[in-house]
Amino acid sequence: MRLESNIKLESKKKKIFLSFEGVKTEVQYFDQLIQHRSELNINPNIEIILMMRNHTFLGWSNPLKAFKRTKYCIDNLSKNQRNVSSFISSIDEFCFYNTQLLSTKDEASSLYDSLVILIKNNFKLDKTNNFNFTHPGSIDIKECIITFINNKFKIKDLDVFIDSQFIPFNPYRDEVCLIVDRDSRSVSNNQYDTLLKYCGINKFNLFVSNPCFEFWLLLHFDEIFDIDKAELLDNKKLLIDGCEIHFCEYELKKLLPNFEKNNICFSSLINRINIAVSNEKYYEESLLTLKTELGSNFGQLLTKLFANS
């Protein structure tokens, strides 16, 4: 994963913080958007910040937990501070998805524990403490962590990622966008209603794909109109060649044979983004109807990011 390195604390640009329920396909997609922002004509007057999840949440997928974690981080960023545990967890997850040397959640947890001890021994900060990232001492914390991790893993762009975690949130100018799936099997109707309520109260923009992010990727192809809507919405697990795969991903692989969760084949999607935004309009886009109906409002997020919107 590559992250923008030109973000400065003193930047006067509007910042859009993208927070994800998932960690693979969604993060890859929006990270690639950032990398190709000039080609895609993304508004040069905004900065896009990708927020990583807490390492203890690896393996789960729940929109309400994603909301609570996002709110906690944003509340701290609005005070120019980071919680030690949250900060280390974000770094831990970044490392987890950027090196094969951390292949299990136990190994990720071990790195987290080591970093907690490192910060406590060197800076007298417990994991429950907060620290002000505008203070000069935060540079020492950053350098200490980078040196420790690179002695073990040599992870590319680690310094850039850590810099991206020291970005203040201005509630009068910046925006938060929470990106989730509407999976009726894992999220009840009451939970979905609660999510809408919480996002409204906290002025978070909510972007939903029902049933999953792969549906949004399917919208990049006109062939989606040949696929049965009920089967797309149901998104049942299929047994193909002895392996389980959900229906939407199965249909996507017909169009993108090399698609994998950790390789979304963005080069085959980049010139189709406008098609996806257009095709989305033939399905549900309202957050209220997305509760039960097939659709997505990700196209509205893309429109928000484009320079000519």
What is the sign of the dihedral through the CA atoms of 200, 204, 209 and 211? negative
Q: Point out the domain boundary residue: 167, 202, 226.
A: 167
pLDDT of amino acid 11? 59
pLDDT of amino acid 243? 86
Q: Is the pLDDT of residue 272 over 90?
A: yes
Please check whether residues 105 and 185 belong to one and the same domain: no
Q: Is the pLDDT of residue 1 over 70?
A: no
Amino acid present at 24 = K
Please check whether residues 15 and 106 belong to one and the same domain: no
Domain assignment of residue 299, given as a range: 1-78+177-309
Is 58 inside a domain boundary?
yes
Q: Is the pLDDT of residue 110 over 80?
A: yes
Cβ atoms 166, 177 nearer than 8 A: no
Please check whether residues 91 and 135 belong to one and the same domain: yes
Lowest average pLDDT, out of 25-34, 56-65, 75-84, 107-116, goes to 56-65
Please check whether residues 201 and 295 belong to one and the same domain: yes
Is 172 inside a domain boundary?
no
Q: What is the mean pLDDT of the chain?
A: 88
pLDDT in tens, 284-306: 999 999 999 999 999 999 999 99
Mean pLDDT of 35-46: 93
pLDDT of amino acid 53? 62
Top-confidence residue, 56 or 236:
236
Please check whether residues 203 and 293 belong to one and the same domain: yes
Of 183, 189, 165, 26, the C-alpha closest to 88 is 165
Mean pLDDT of 65-72: 90
Cβ atoms 67, 131 nearer than 8 A: no
pLDDT of amino acid 290? 97
Share of the chain above pLDDT 90, in %: 62
Q: Point out the domain boundary residue: 167, 194, 212.
A: 167
Provide the number of structural domains found in the chain: 2
pLDDT in tens, 148-199: 999 988 888 888 888 888 889 999 999 999 999 988 777 889 999 999 999 9
Task: Report how far residue 285's alpha carbon sits from residue 303's, in angstroms, rounded to the nearest whole number.
Answer: 13
Q: How many CA atoms lie within 13 A of 240 on its CB side?
A: 11
* pTM (two decimals): 0.87
pLDDT of amino acid 141? 93
Please check whether residues 243 and 122 belong to one and the same domain: no
Please check whether residues 197 and 259 belong to one and the same domain: yes
pLDDT of amino acid 309? 55
Please check whether residues 126 and 56 belong to one and the same domain: no
Q: Is the pLDDT of residue 56 over 60?
A: no
Q: Is the pLDDT of residue 9 over 50?
A: no
Distance of CA 287 to the CA centre of its chain: 19
pLDDT in tens, 79-103: 999 889 888 988 888 887 777 777 7
Please check whether residues 96 and 206 belong to one and the same domain: no
Is 151 inside a domain boundary?
yes
Q: Point out the domain boundary residue: 142, 167, 192.
A: 167
pLDDT of amino acid 16? 96
Lowest average pLDDT, out of 66-75, 120-129, 179-188, 258-267, goes to 179-188
Where does the pLDDT of residue 2 fall: very low under 50, low under 70, confident under 90, or very high at 90 and above?
very low
pLDDT of amino acid 101? 73
Q: Is the pLDDT of residue 251 over 50?
A: yes
Please check whether residues 111 and 49 belong to one and the same domain: no
